[in-house]
């Protein structure tokens, strides 16, 4: 039945209690039970996130003349991102509300750039590996474009020959991920850059999960191949602040190799009563809290703080991978950062995943191949043994031959 707005208001203390009750059935992410959706950097960073957010909660990034504070914070955040991802001096970008918006904007910008350079972009095509995030499908759907998903190689990385072969006369853009969400693998961006350059195409690197993690893992000595603006042919990148930038939700960056490219993102309209409205992103109103929180957390952590968190997460992943192998599972591909997936031919891993869920452990799944998907945060280092015990129990409970019949859902 539809709920009616109450006639009388309710005191906040009562509401706060009620809302805490409502959260009692939610996944216990504060104790490492969520390996998706939430990024737990620890209580001190969460406090900075919250306080900075509430400090600028009412302010609006739509009005940089009214709020030069937010404009200055966004400028700093974008500059930090450009520096970490080795963008040239003339590069530029904007903050957005999240990875999906960053991707939508990169596609729109690449399309408008191609159109400005004489290409007919009606039903224009984007060539992406099967591992690309569905935000590219959404962007293509919204803009009347076509996303061509190319099957992966046996190593779960893009098949370069197949990517090359998928390029046609309508193609204006190519995509690679660093890392891809499904398996946590850094894709061969340098090779994709060469293909893009040969065909005069725009290469976007989706580094939504990796953009604020991979640079620090590399500084820590992890094997991270070049995936950013150092690679010729990379025209734009998406990198989320609300993932491993540890900012409050509603914050990502979309970055371009030059100011000229970025300008194709901006929408301008003065054909209405209130004069010129210039919006760099999809949003009109832009939450000041999201900008402030990203600015505060980045400055609070600094390079040393991010390096420490990256080291914790990578060490946790290695421990979990070893434990998973000891239990007879196979880790898919060679993950390098914070995501890994695993499966088994002996038991149905999706059934095991249900067993973990029943024990309070929430993670993603993969349907191709069937597997459990883990995206780790610093908080997970405290629960490695507990999680492995739960995994062992769930594995022992799953009967050989028994197959989970439900659909695999990410959300």
Ligand X SMILES: Cc1ncc(COP(=O)(O)O)c(C=O)c1O
Task: Sketch the per residue contact string, 54 through 93, with ligand X: x for CB under 6 A, - otherwise.
Answer: ----------------------------------------
Query: Which one among 135, 314, 356, 394 touches ligand X, defined by CB under 6 A?
Result: 135
Q: Which of 135, 197, 213 is nearest to 375 (CA)?
A: 213
Give yes or no for residue 365 binding ligand X (CB under 6 A). no
Helix (H), strand (E), coil (C) string for 207-261? CCCCCCCHHHHHHCCCCCCCCCCCCCCEEEEEEECCCCCCCCCCCEEEEECCHHH
Give yes or no for residue 395 binding ligand X (CB under 6 A). no
Give yes or no for residue 247 binding ligand X (CB under 6 A). no
Residue 263's contacts (CB-CB under 8 Å, 6 or more residues apart) are: none
Smallest distance, Å, CB 131 to ligand X? Answer: 9
Smallest distance, Å, CB 254 to ligand X? Answer: 11
Phi, psi of 45 (to 5 degrees): -70, -40
Phi, psi of 96 (to 5 degrees): -130, -175
Q: Which of 327, 325, 322, 394 is nearest to 356 (CA)?
A: 394
Residue nearest to ligand X (CB): 99
Smallest distance, Å, CB 284 to ligand X? Answer: 19
Smallest distance, Å, CB 137 to ligand X? Answer: 11
Give yes or no for residue 208 binding ligand X (CB under 6 A). yes
**Residues that contact ligand X, how many (by CB under 6 A):** 13
Query: Which one among 33, 108, 111, 133 touches ligand X, defined by CB under 6 A?
Result: 133
Give yes or no for residue 181 binding ligand X (CB under 6 A). yes
Query: Which one among 240, 281, 289, 343 touches ligand X, defined by CB under 6 A?
Result: 240
Give yes or no for residue 228 binding ligand X (CB under 6 A). no
Cis preceding-peptide flag for 179 (omega within 30 of 0): yes
Q: Which is nearer to ligand X, 105 or 311 (CB)?
A: 105
Give yes or no for residue 176 binding ligand X (CB under 6 A). no
- Cα separation values, 322 from 308, 330, 336, Å: 21, 10, 14
The count of other CB atoms within 10 Å of the CB of residue 177 is 30
Give yes or no for residue 204 binding ligand X (CB under 6 A). no
Q: Which DSSP category does 411 fall into? A: -
Say how far apart CA 383 and CA 361 lie, in whole Å.
11
Give yes or no for residue 370 binding ligand X (CB under 6 A). no
Residue 165's contacts (CB-CB under 8 Å, 6 or more residues apart) are: none
Smallest distance, Å, CB 304 to ligand X? Answer: 25
Query: Which one among 209, 218, 291, 384 touches ligand X, defined by CB under 6 A?
Result: 209
Smallest distance, Å, CB 342 to ligand X? Answer: 18
Phi, psi of 149 (to 5 degrees): -90, 125
- Choices 66-74, 99-107, 118-126, 263-271; region in contact with ligand X by CB under 6 A: 99-107
| Residue ranges binding ligand X (CB under 6 A) | 98-100, 103, 133, 135, 177, 181, 206, 208-209, 240, 252
């Amino acid at each position: 039945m539809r709920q009616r707005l109450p006639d009388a208001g309710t005191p906040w203390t009562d509401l706060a209690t009620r809302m805490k009750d409502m959260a009692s059935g939610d996944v216990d992410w504060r104790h490492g039970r969520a390996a998706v959706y939430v990024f737990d950097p620890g209580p001190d960073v969460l406090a900075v996130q919250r306080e900075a957010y509430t400090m600028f909660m009412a302010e609006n990034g739509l009005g940089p003349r009214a709020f030069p504070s937010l404009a200055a914070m966004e400028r700093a955040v974008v500059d930090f991102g450009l520096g970490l991802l080795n963008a040239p001096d003339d590069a530029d970008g904007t903050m957005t509300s999240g990875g999906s918006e960053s991707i939508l904007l990169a596609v729109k910008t690449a399309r408008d750039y191609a159109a400005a350079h004489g290409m007919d972009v009606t039903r224009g095509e984007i060539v992406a590996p099967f591992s690309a995030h569905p935000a590219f499908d959404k962007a293509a759907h919204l803009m009347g474009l076509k996303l061509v998903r190319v099957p992966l190689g046996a190593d779960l990385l893009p098949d370069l020959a197949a990517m090359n072969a998928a390029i046609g006369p309508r193609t204006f853009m190519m995509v690679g991920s660093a890392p891809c969400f499904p398996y946590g693998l850094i894709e061969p961006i340098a090779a994709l850059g060469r293909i893009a350059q040969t065909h005069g195409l725009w290469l976007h690197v989706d580094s939504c999960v990796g953009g604020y993690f991979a640079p620090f893992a590399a500084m820590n000595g992890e094997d991270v191949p070049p995936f950013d603006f150092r690679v010729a042919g990379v025209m734009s990148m998406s990198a989320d602040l609300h993932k491993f930038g540890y900012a409050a939700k509603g914050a990502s960056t979309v970055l371009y190799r030059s100011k000229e490219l970025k300008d194709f993102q901006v929408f301008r309209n003065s054909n209405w009563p209130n004069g010129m409205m210039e919006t760099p992103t999809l949003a009109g109103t832009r939450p000041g809290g999201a900008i402030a929180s990203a600015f505060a957390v980045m400055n609070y952590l600094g390079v040393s703080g991010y390096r420490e968190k990256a080291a914790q997460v990578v060490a946790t992943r290695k421990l979990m991978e070893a434990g998973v192998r000891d239990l007879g599972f196979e880790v898919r591909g060679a993950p390098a950062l914070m995501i890994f997936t695993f499966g088994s031919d002996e038991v149905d891993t999706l059934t095991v995943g249900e067993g973990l869920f029943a024990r309070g452990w929430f993670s993603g799944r993969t349907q191709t191949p069937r597997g459990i998907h883990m995206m780790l945060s610093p908080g997970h280092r405290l629960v490695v043994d507990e999680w492995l015990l739960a995994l062992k129990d769930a594995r022992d409970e799953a009967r050989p031959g028994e197959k989970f019949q439900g659909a695999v859902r990410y959300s």
